[in-house]
Amino acid sequence: MNKTSCVISFDFTSRFLPPVYISVFIVGLMANGWGLKSLLQKWRKLKIINVFVLNLGLADILYLLTLPFLMVYHFMGSKWIFGDTFCKIIRFCFNLNLYGSIGFLTCISVYRYLAIVHPVRVMGKLTVTHSVAISIMVWLLVSIQCLPDMFFIKTFGNPTGRCYDSTHQRYVEDYLNYSLGWTLTGFCIPLLITLGCYGHIAIVLWTRKRIDKVQKQRSLTLLLILILLFSVCYIPYHLLKNLNLWVRGLSKQRICYEWFNGVYIAHQISRGLVCLNSVLNPQLRLCGNENISAQLKELLQRARQMSSCSFLSNSGCVPVAQTADRD
């Protein structure tokens, strides 16, 4: 143990996060843009669950639009040039996306639970109007949860300094207390609700033979995506975020261990992983929308046809779309 100074590899962040942000920005913007376009094209036929999926996409787009500023920030060696207010807005958008996504995933889980386990009781009682009202409530609750974060110091009055994702070292103990409460209400409780819903759904799907096979397949696929989201994106981030804040508090007291640097690096990796939720969330649209799944299959068929034609220029290939037009 060293009680004088802690050696932390801060340059790891500038090497690791920019490539992640670039990849997530490109893939996420394309996937969410295409998914939202497909939903909005059939707005009048929007189903209850698709309202939650639509809000999930809007939360992703909101966050993705902030990534170019974070890329500039890290490319400049963690030098923030856009001002304190915009730094807080950027961090607010990240938190709004993170906890908004968790909230809407929880709503989707509850809806699936009611539709599969209690279909008779909820028949005709759940409407699009209800789902819109619930979505507004989710946005309000998440905004209230994220609002206190705006009052913590983010740049410490330095116009070309860091833009903290939490706060300055001086206030790290207070932020840890806030973060623990935030984790409980914004993550742990929704996680327990989601696990409870899908645990019961899994039992019902396993025991009831009358349930349609297509519905079984969609529900199980959605369950796998949610498990992936929580296991890869959300659980590591919340565990390592709070552990890193605790370590910073110890470092402030000049209490240091060699593994502190490992905690910092693991936390930065979890920050990169949590961004992937904006890429994985669009997969939920494929599970709940037959039309999007059909469009995706058609796009894949066209891509295969065009790639085969590029290799066989004299084979007289006819694109799939033209064949369909002729029919």
| pLDDT tens-digit readout, 68-103 | 999 999 988 888 999 899 999 999 999 999 999 999
Instruction: Look at 307 and 247; give whichever has higher pLDDT.
Output: 247
Instruction: Look at 211 and 121; give whichever has higher pLDDT.
Output: 121
CA diameter of the chain: 78
Q: What is the mean pLDDT of residues 309-324?
A: 43
Q: How confident is the model at residue 18 (pLDDT cuts 50, 70, 90)?
A: very high
**CB 155 within 8 Å of CB 80:** yes
pLDDT tens digits, one per residue of 21-52: 999 999 999 988 887 777 777 666 667 778 88
Distance separating alpha carbons of residues 126 and 50, to the nearest angstrom: 13
Which residues have CB under 8 Å from 303's CB, separation 6+?
none
**CB 80 within 8 Å of CB 204:** no
Q: What is the mean pLDDT of residues 124-130?
A: 81
Instruction: Look at 212 and 196; give whichever has higher pLDDT.
Output: 196
The pLDDT, as a whole number, for residue 102 is: 94
The pTM assigned to this predicted structure is 0.82
Overall residue count recorded for the chain in this entry: 327
Domains of the chain: 11-288 (1.20.1070.10)
Token pair of 184 as six digits: 């409980």
The pLDDT, as a whole number, for residue 95 is: 96
Token pair of 162 as six digits: 């860091």
204: helix, coil or strand? helix
State yes or no: pLDDT of 142 exceeds 90: yes
The average confidence (pLDDT) of the chain is: 82
Q: How confident is the model at residue 312 (pLDDT cuts 50, 70, 90)?
A: very low
Instruction: Look at 225 and 154; give whichever has higher pLDDT.
Output: 154
